[in-house]
Amino acid sequence: MDRRVTKKNDDASGKERPTLKTLAFMTGLGVTTVSRALKDAPEIGAETRRRVQLVAKQIGYRPNRAGVRLRTGKTNVISLVLNTEHELMSFVSDIIYGVTEVIADTPYHLIVTPYSRSQDPLDPVRYLVETGSADGVIISRTQPNDPRARYMLEHGVPFATHGRTDMGLVHPYHDFDNYAFAGEAVRALAGKGRNRLALVTPPVGLTYFRYTVNGFADALSEVGASEVPFNTVSIDHTIEQIRMRTAQLMRRDDRPDGIISSAAAATLAVVAGIEDAGLKLGRDVDVVSKQSSEVLHLFRRELLVVNEDFRLAGSELARAVLGWIAGKEPGSLQSLSKPSEVLPYRG
Protein backbone atom coordinates (compact mmCIF):
# COMPACT_ATOMS: atom_id res chain seq x y z
CA MET A 1 0.00 0.00 0.00
CA ASP A 2 2.76 2.42 0.88
CA ARG A 3 4.48 1.78 -2.43
CA ARG A 4 1.29 2.57 -4.40
CA VAL A 5 0.81 5.82 -2.49
CA THR A 6 4.43 6.83 -3.07
CA LYS A 7 4.23 6.16 -6.77
CA LYS A 8 0.98 8.11 -7.02
CA ASN A 9 2.54 11.08 -5.26
CA ASP A 10 5.58 10.97 -7.55
CA ASP A 11 3.37 10.89 -10.62
CA ALA A 12 1.20 13.69 -9.29
CA SER A 13 4.18 15.92 -8.69
CA GLY A 14 5.21 15.51 -12.29
CA LYS A 15 8.81 14.84 -11.29
CA GLU A 16 10.58 12.47 -13.63
CA ARG A 17 14.24 11.58 -13.63
CA PRO A 18 16.01 13.55 -16.41
CA THR A 19 17.36 11.28 -19.13
CA LEU A 20 19.66 11.65 -22.11
CA LYS A 21 16.54 12.25 -24.21
CA THR A 22 15.59 15.12 -21.87
CA LEU A 23 19.02 16.67 -22.38
CA ALA A 24 18.86 16.14 -26.14
CA PHE A 25 15.47 17.87 -26.31
CA MET A 26 16.59 20.82 -24.18
CA THR A 27 19.84 21.37 -26.10
CA GLY A 28 18.54 20.59 -29.57
CA LEU A 29 21.23 17.96 -30.06
CA GLY A 30 21.13 14.26 -30.77
CA VAL A 31 21.22 11.70 -27.96
CA THR A 32 24.58 10.37 -29.15
CA THR A 33 26.10 13.84 -29.23
CA VAL A 34 24.80 14.60 -25.73
CA SER A 35 26.19 11.32 -24.40
CA ARG A 36 29.62 11.99 -25.85
CA ALA A 37 29.62 15.59 -24.62
CA LEU A 38 28.98 14.39 -21.07
CA LYS A 39 32.00 12.11 -21.38
CA ASP A 40 34.22 14.98 -22.62
CA ALA A 41 34.76 13.19 -25.94
CA PRO A 42 37.40 15.16 -27.89
CA GLU A 43 35.43 14.93 -31.15
CA ILE A 44 32.72 17.11 -29.61
CA GLY A 45 33.49 20.84 -29.63
CA ALA A 46 34.48 22.46 -26.35
CA GLU A 47 31.56 24.91 -26.42
CA THR A 48 29.06 22.10 -27.04
CA ARG A 49 30.53 20.08 -24.19
CA ARG A 50 30.26 23.03 -21.82
CA ARG A 51 26.68 23.76 -22.84
CA VAL A 52 25.53 20.15 -22.43
CA GLN A 53 27.26 19.78 -19.08
CA LEU A 54 25.79 23.06 -17.82
CA VAL A 55 22.25 22.03 -18.76
CA ALA A 56 22.81 18.60 -17.19
CA LYS A 57 23.87 20.24 -13.94
CA GLN A 58 20.95 22.66 -13.98
CA ILE A 59 18.31 19.96 -14.39
CA GLY A 60 20.00 17.49 -12.03
CA TYR A 61 20.82 14.85 -14.64
CA ARG A 62 22.55 11.77 -13.29
CA PRO A 63 23.44 8.73 -15.38
CA ASN A 64 21.46 5.62 -14.52
CA ARG A 65 24.12 3.33 -13.04
CA ALA A 66 22.26 0.16 -13.92
CA GLY A 67 22.06 1.32 -17.52
CA VAL A 68 25.70 2.38 -17.57
CA ARG A 69 26.74 -1.00 -16.26
CA LEU A 70 24.65 -2.85 -18.85
CA ARG A 71 26.10 -0.77 -21.69
CA THR A 72 29.73 -0.51 -20.60
CA GLY A 73 30.33 -3.12 -17.91
CA LYS A 74 31.40 -0.27 -15.60
CA THR A 75 29.82 0.97 -12.38
CA ASN A 76 31.41 4.44 -12.20
CA VAL A 77 32.03 3.69 -8.52
CA ILE A 78 35.23 3.94 -6.47
CA SER A 79 35.08 2.13 -3.13
CA LEU A 80 37.07 3.29 -0.11
CA VAL A 81 37.45 0.34 2.28
CA LEU A 82 37.96 1.44 5.89
CA ASN A 83 38.24 -0.16 9.29
CA THR A 84 36.34 2.58 11.06
CA GLU A 85 37.14 1.23 14.54
CA HIS A 86 40.83 2.01 14.09
CA GLU A 87 40.64 5.21 12.05
CA LEU A 88 40.63 8.07 14.57
CA MET A 89 40.56 11.86 14.69
CA SER A 90 40.10 13.42 11.23
CA PHE A 91 41.48 10.54 9.13
CA VAL A 92 38.16 9.33 7.71
CA SER A 93 36.69 12.74 6.90
CA ASP A 94 39.95 14.03 5.39
CA ILE A 95 40.52 10.98 3.21
CA ILE A 96 36.93 11.16 1.94
CA TYR A 97 37.30 14.89 1.28
CA GLY A 98 40.47 14.32 -0.74
CA VAL A 99 38.96 11.54 -2.83
CA THR A 100 35.74 13.43 -3.58
CA GLU A 101 37.67 16.56 -4.62
CA VAL A 102 39.36 14.57 -7.37
CA ILE A 103 36.34 12.61 -8.62
CA ALA A 104 33.92 15.56 -8.43
CA ASP A 105 34.35 16.42 -12.12
CA THR A 106 34.34 12.81 -13.32
CA PRO A 107 31.53 10.30 -13.81
CA TYR A 108 32.72 8.45 -10.70
CA HIS A 109 31.07 8.32 -7.31
CA LEU A 110 32.53 7.29 -3.97
CA ILE A 111 31.13 4.62 -1.70
CA VAL A 112 32.65 3.85 1.69
CA THR A 113 32.79 0.14 2.54
CA PRO A 114 33.37 -0.24 6.29
CA TYR A 115 34.47 -3.36 8.13
CA SER A 116 34.87 -4.11 11.80
CA ARG A 117 37.61 -5.48 14.03
CA SER A 118 35.98 -8.92 14.01
CA GLN A 119 36.04 -9.23 10.21
CA ASP A 120 38.80 -10.51 7.97
CA PRO A 121 40.03 -7.37 6.11
CA LEU A 122 39.86 -9.40 2.88
CA ASP A 123 36.08 -9.94 3.24
CA PRO A 124 34.88 -6.51 2.03
CA VAL A 125 37.38 -6.53 -0.83
CA ARG A 126 36.30 -10.00 -1.89
CA TYR A 127 32.67 -8.87 -1.83
CA LEU A 128 33.40 -5.83 -4.01
CA VAL A 129 35.29 -7.92 -6.54
CA GLU A 130 32.88 -10.86 -6.68
CA THR A 131 29.81 -8.63 -7.07
CA GLY A 132 31.48 -6.19 -9.46
CA SER A 133 30.34 -3.35 -7.21
CA ALA A 134 33.18 -0.94 -8.02
CA ASP A 135 35.56 -0.12 -10.85
CA GLY A 136 38.35 0.74 -8.44
CA VAL A 137 39.19 0.21 -4.77
CA ILE A 138 41.21 2.13 -2.18
CA ILE A 139 42.44 0.34 0.95
CA SER A 140 44.28 1.49 4.07
CA ARG A 141 46.10 -0.21 6.98
CA THR A 142 48.41 -1.79 4.42
CA GLN A 143 50.48 -4.81 5.41
CA PRO A 144 53.90 -5.85 4.03
CA ASN A 145 52.40 -8.99 2.51
CA ASP A 146 48.86 -7.76 2.03
CA PRO A 147 46.39 -10.44 0.87
CA ARG A 148 43.96 -7.78 -0.33
CA ALA A 149 46.49 -6.33 -2.76
CA ARG A 150 47.47 -9.77 -4.01
CA TYR A 151 43.81 -10.74 -4.47
CA MET A 152 42.97 -7.63 -6.49
CA LEU A 153 46.08 -8.01 -8.65
CA GLU A 154 45.11 -11.61 -9.39
CA HIS A 155 41.59 -10.53 -10.34
CA GLY A 156 42.64 -7.54 -12.44
CA VAL A 157 40.88 -4.93 -10.29
CA PRO A 158 42.41 -1.42 -10.28
CA PHE A 159 43.26 -0.32 -6.74
CA ALA A 160 45.55 1.85 -4.66
CA THR A 161 46.88 1.34 -1.16
CA HIS A 162 47.37 3.95 1.55
CA GLY A 163 50.80 2.73 2.51
CA ARG A 164 53.23 0.43 0.74
CA THR A 165 53.43 -3.34 0.53
CA ASP A 166 56.63 -5.41 0.44
CA MET A 167 55.59 -8.28 -1.82
CA GLY A 168 57.68 -7.52 -4.89
CA LEU A 169 54.47 -6.68 -6.77
CA VAL A 170 53.90 -3.36 -8.50
CA HIS A 171 50.73 -1.42 -7.72
CA PRO A 172 49.68 2.20 -7.11
CA TYR A 173 50.06 3.64 -3.62
CA HIS A 174 50.36 6.83 -1.66
CA ASP A 175 52.38 6.84 1.53
CA PHE A 176 53.72 9.21 4.16
CA ASP A 177 57.48 9.02 4.74
CA ASN A 178 57.40 7.63 8.28
CA TYR A 179 61.12 6.85 8.18
CA ALA A 180 61.80 10.56 7.68
CA PHE A 181 59.19 11.51 10.32
CA ALA A 182 60.82 9.39 13.00
CA GLY A 183 64.28 10.68 12.11
CA GLU A 184 63.20 14.33 12.20
CA ALA A 185 61.46 13.76 15.54
CA VAL A 186 64.58 12.23 17.10
CA ARG A 187 66.77 15.07 15.83
CA ALA A 188 64.34 17.68 17.15
CA LEU A 189 64.34 16.10 20.61
CA ALA A 190 68.12 15.78 20.59
CA GLY A 191 68.29 19.46 19.70
CA LYS A 192 66.42 20.19 22.93
CA GLY A 193 68.94 18.17 24.94
CA ARG A 194 66.79 15.04 25.20
CA ASN A 195 68.77 11.81 24.92
CA ARG A 196 66.58 9.04 26.40
CA LEU A 197 63.80 8.53 23.92
CA ALA A 198 60.72 6.30 23.69
CA LEU A 199 58.53 5.58 20.67
CA VAL A 200 54.79 4.93 20.52
CA THR A 201 54.71 2.83 17.38
CA PRO A 202 52.15 2.02 14.71
CA PRO A 203 50.62 -1.49 14.90
CA VAL A 204 53.34 -4.07 14.38
CA GLY A 205 51.52 -5.79 11.50
CA LEU A 206 51.37 -2.73 9.25
CA THR A 207 54.11 -1.76 6.82
CA TYR A 208 54.70 1.69 8.26
CA PHE A 209 55.64 0.14 11.61
CA ARG A 210 58.92 -0.98 10.04
CA TYR A 211 59.64 2.41 8.43
CA THR A 212 58.93 4.24 11.68
CA VAL A 213 61.04 1.92 13.84
CA ASN A 214 63.96 1.94 11.39
CA GLY A 215 63.90 5.74 11.12
CA PHE A 216 63.87 5.98 14.91
CA ALA A 217 66.76 3.53 15.36
CA ASP A 218 68.95 5.08 12.66
CA ALA A 219 68.45 8.59 14.02
CA LEU A 220 69.24 7.45 17.59
CA SER A 221 72.61 6.20 16.34
CA GLU A 222 73.17 9.41 14.41
CA VAL A 223 72.63 11.72 17.42
CA GLY A 224 74.05 9.40 20.08
CA ALA A 225 70.79 9.05 22.01
CA SER A 226 69.47 5.86 23.61
CA GLU A 227 66.10 4.12 23.43
CA VAL A 228 63.85 3.56 26.41
CA PRO A 229 61.78 0.57 25.26
CA PHE A 230 58.02 1.16 25.25
CA ASN A 231 56.74 -2.05 23.69
CA THR A 232 53.59 -2.49 25.75
CA VAL A 233 51.40 -0.26 23.58
CA SER A 234 50.88 0.88 20.01
CA ILE A 235 48.61 3.57 18.62
CA ASP A 236 45.94 0.85 18.16
CA HIS A 237 45.55 0.43 21.92
CA THR A 238 42.74 2.23 23.69
CA ILE A 239 43.22 5.72 25.07
CA GLU A 240 42.98 4.39 28.61
CA GLN A 241 45.57 1.64 27.98
CA ILE A 242 48.05 4.13 26.53
CA ARG A 243 47.44 6.56 29.39
CA MET A 244 47.94 3.91 32.08
CA ARG A 245 51.09 2.43 30.55
CA THR A 246 52.60 5.85 29.89
CA ALA A 247 52.09 6.72 33.55
CA GLN A 248 53.80 3.46 34.54
CA LEU A 249 56.72 4.24 32.20
CA MET A 250 57.10 7.78 33.50
CA ARG A 251 57.19 6.67 37.16
CA ARG A 252 60.31 4.60 36.53
CA ASP A 253 63.75 5.85 37.55
CA ASP A 254 65.00 5.28 34.02
CA ARG A 255 62.07 7.10 32.38
CA PRO A 256 62.49 8.77 28.98
CA ASP A 257 62.95 12.50 28.64
CA GLY A 258 61.54 12.48 25.11
CA ILE A 259 58.65 10.58 23.49
CA ILE A 260 57.66 10.27 19.83
CA SER A 261 54.02 9.44 19.05
CA SER A 262 52.81 8.10 15.71
CA ALA A 263 49.25 9.45 16.02
CA ALA A 264 47.53 12.47 17.55
CA ALA A 265 44.88 10.44 19.37
CA ALA A 266 47.57 8.41 21.12
CA THR A 267 49.36 11.64 22.04
CA LEU A 268 46.37 12.85 24.06
CA ALA A 269 46.68 9.70 26.18
CA VAL A 270 50.48 9.99 26.41
CA VAL A 271 50.19 13.52 27.79
CA ALA A 272 47.54 12.40 30.28
CA GLY A 273 49.86 9.61 31.45
CA ILE A 274 52.78 12.01 31.84
CA GLU A 275 50.66 14.28 33.99
CA ASP A 276 49.27 11.33 35.98
CA ALA A 277 52.90 10.61 36.92
CA GLY A 278 53.24 14.13 38.30
CA LEU A 279 55.52 15.37 35.52
CA LYS A 280 55.29 18.49 33.40
CA LEU A 281 55.32 18.50 29.61
CA GLY A 282 58.09 20.72 28.25
CA ARG A 283 60.04 20.66 31.51
CA ASP A 284 60.49 17.00 32.44
CA VAL A 285 59.78 15.51 29.04
CA ASP A 286 59.14 16.65 25.47
CA VAL A 287 56.77 14.95 23.03
CA VAL A 288 56.83 15.00 19.22
CA SER A 289 53.65 13.82 17.53
CA LYS A 290 52.16 13.47 14.08
CA GLN A 291 48.87 15.26 13.54
CA SER A 292 46.51 15.65 10.61
CA SER A 293 44.60 18.68 11.90
CA GLU A 294 45.50 21.73 13.94
CA VAL A 295 44.37 20.22 17.22
CA LEU A 296 47.34 19.31 19.39
CA HIS A 297 48.51 22.85 20.13
CA LEU A 298 44.98 23.65 21.28
CA PHE A 299 45.39 20.80 23.76
CA ARG A 300 48.94 21.52 25.00
CA ARG A 301 51.11 24.30 23.62
CA GLU A 302 54.28 22.50 24.74
CA LEU A 303 53.81 19.72 22.18
CA LEU A 304 56.00 19.52 19.09
CA VAL A 305 54.09 18.47 15.97
CA VAL A 306 54.66 17.13 12.48
CA ASN A 307 51.82 17.51 10.00
CA GLU A 308 50.53 14.65 7.85
CA ASP A 309 48.03 15.68 5.17
CA PHE A 310 45.28 13.06 4.83
CA ARG A 311 43.38 15.20 2.32
CA LEU A 312 46.45 15.04 0.09
CA ALA A 313 46.54 11.28 0.64
CA GLY A 314 42.91 10.95 -0.45
CA SER A 315 43.54 13.04 -3.55
CA GLU A 316 46.64 11.09 -4.55
CA LEU A 317 44.90 7.75 -4.00
CA ALA A 318 41.94 8.82 -6.12
CA ARG A 319 44.24 9.99 -8.93
CA ALA A 320 46.12 6.71 -8.75
CA VAL A 321 42.98 4.56 -9.07
CA LEU A 322 41.55 6.68 -11.88
CA GLY A 323 44.91 6.56 -13.62
CA TRP A 324 45.00 2.77 -13.52
CA ILE A 325 41.41 2.57 -14.76
CA ALA A 326 42.43 4.86 -17.65
CA GLY A 327 45.25 2.49 -18.60
CA LYS A 328 48.34 4.06 -17.05
CA GLU A 329 51.15 1.86 -15.80
CA PRO A 330 50.65 1.03 -12.08
CA GLY A 331 54.30 1.76 -11.33
CA SER A 332 53.84 5.36 -12.49
CA LEU A 333 51.02 5.90 -9.96
CA GLN A 334 53.05 5.80 -6.74
CA SER A 335 53.66 8.81 -4.49
CA LEU A 336 55.38 9.53 -1.19
CA SER A 337 54.77 12.68 0.83
CA LYS A 338 57.47 14.14 3.06
CA PRO A 339 56.79 15.25 6.64
CA SER A 340 56.68 18.89 7.58
CA GLU A 341 59.37 20.26 9.84
CA VAL A 342 58.90 19.68 13.56
CA LEU A 343 56.77 22.60 14.65
CA PRO A 344 56.60 24.21 18.10
CA TYR A 345 53.64 26.33 19.15
CA ARG A 346 53.82 29.70 17.39
CA GLY A 347 50.75 31.43 18.78
CB 245 within 8 A of CB 232: yes
**CATH among 3.40.50.2300, 3.40.309.10, 3.90.1330.10, 3.20.20.450 for 178-307:** 3.40.50.2300
Cα angle: 164, vertex 129, 315; to 5 degrees: 45
pLDDT in tens, 293-330: 889 999 999 999 999 999 999 999 999 999 999 999 99
**34: pLDDT confidence band, cut at 50, 70 and 90?**
confident
pLDDT band at residue 71, thresholds of 50, 70 and 90? low
Check if 20-63 and 178-307 are the same fold.
no
Lowest mean pLDDT, pick from 20-34, 92-106, 172-186: 20-34
3-class SS at 304?
Answer: strand
CA–CA distance, 303 with 285 (Å, rounded to integer): 10
* CA terminus-to-terminus distance, the chain: 63
DSSP state of 281: B
- pLDDT of residue 344 exceeding 70: yes
Domain ranges of the chain: 20-63, 72-176+311-337, 178-307
Q: Which CATH class is domain 72-176+311-337?
A: alpha beta
pLDDT, tens digit, 9 for 90 and up, residues 239-280 = 999 999 999 999 999 999 999 999 999 999 999 999 999 999
- The CATH architecture assigned to 20-63 reads Orthogonal Bundle (1.10)
CA 76 to chain centre: 20
pTM score, two decimals?
A: 0.81
Instruction: Band the pLDDT of 4: cuts 50, 70, 90.
Output: very low
- What distance lies between CA 133 and its chain's CA centroid? 20
